[in-house]
Amino acid sequence: MTSLTRLLASVAAAAALTAFAGPASAQEDCPRGDLDERFCDRDGDLIADIPTDSAQLIDPDTLVFAYTPVEDPAVYATAWADFLTHLEKETGKKVMFFPVQSNAAQIEAMRSGRLHIAGFNTGSNPLAVNCAGFRPFTMMAAPDGSFGYEMEIITYPGSGIEKVEDIKGKQLAFTSPTSNSGFKAPSAILKADFGLEAERDFEPVFSGKHDNSILGVANKDYPAASIANSVMGRMMERGVVTPEQIVSIYKSQTFPTTGYGLVYNLTPDLQEKIQNAFFSFQWEGTTLEEEFSKSGEGQFLPITYQEFWEVIRKIDAATGVSYACE
């Protein structure tokens, strides 16, 4: 058992005990666990319930969709084009692609009512769930049902970094504080398994996005970076970087990938139509298949946040991440 495993196990019990903490009266009327005070979780599935008061429901004429800001938004506006056309047919609504520039901006857009359907990256899912009323229900998977990605720590040939311990005294590029593979998981793993902490043992910098980190290493701007290998795989398939420019010195366990879902207060009928659109989408020959087959994905797999994001919530607990909404 690694030190990370022991660390995660130790926080799991504490997380379970505190998940439903709060005043007794509030719990009876509207149990919410870690959810923001605007939401309720009466069924205990850790996501915001759909409001029972029709006055709180929305049925917009135009649905706004955003994909997690991990790479060039223009590439993904094209990649999602065929799916969004299908979504329009299934819902009878106009659908607009919203290119977000950061995880924080994406969460705030949903929290403020400007974003209805989204793919939030692995690390942002808990914040989106708890602060913005995000209800994830699917993620991409391979045609055989396998799914997920690994966090890798990469460097370039000749950097002088041959193993994780060699990062000590050097610079390591993260992506953003809300990213699982770009910050939270490597922070936990480096501390628990290698005794390395940011600021004390190495200089942390933030690139903003996985593609920035990957390009930064390939171009020798960063000596090392922690990244999602699914992003790196797609970039290599497009020829943005080559395998010869990258050396991987660490590969993690498999994590769930981007979670797709919708905001909690869409009408139940519209929520059902949106979910049906994801699961009825035929990938073959589409722009979505053209892009995401590069990382082996070819279907939308049903998921629950409670089950599939358990390991991410444990990493968050181990690294002191708070789901408090600003």
- Give the tens place of pLDDT for each residue, 163-199: 999 999 999 999 999 899 999 999 999 998 999 999 9
How many angstroms separate the CA atoms of 137 and 278, rounded? 10
Strands 62-67 and 117-120 turn out to be parallel
DSSP string, 4-38: HHHHHHHHHHHHHHHTT-S-HHHHHH---TTS-TT
CATH 3.40.190.10, applies to 3-145+257-318: yes
Q: Give the 3-state DSSP-derived string for 35-49, with helices as H, strands as E and coil as C.
A: CCCCCCCCCCCCCCC
- CATH 3.40.190.10 domain span(s) along the chain: 3-145+257-318, 149-254
- Give the tens place of pLDDT for each residue, 261-273: 999 999 999 999 9
Note the pLDDT of residue 65: 98
- Give the tens place of pLDDT for each residue, 52-101: 999 999 999 999 999 988 667 778 899 999 999 999 999 999 999 999 88
pLDDT at 240 over 70: yes
Name the pTM for this structure. Answer: 0.79
How many angstroms separate the CA atoms of 227 and 72, rounded? 16
Of 3.30.365.10, 3.40.190.10, 3.60.20.10, 1.10.3720.10, the CATH number of 149-254 is: 3.40.190.10
How many angstroms separate the CA atoms of 79 and 247, rounded? 28
Note the pLDDT of residue 322: 86
Nearest to 138 by CA among 316, 11, 281, 286: 281
Q: What is the mean pLDDT of residues 219-239?
A: 95
How many angstroms separate the CA atoms of 299 and 138, rounded? 10
Share of the chain above pLDDT 70, in %: 90
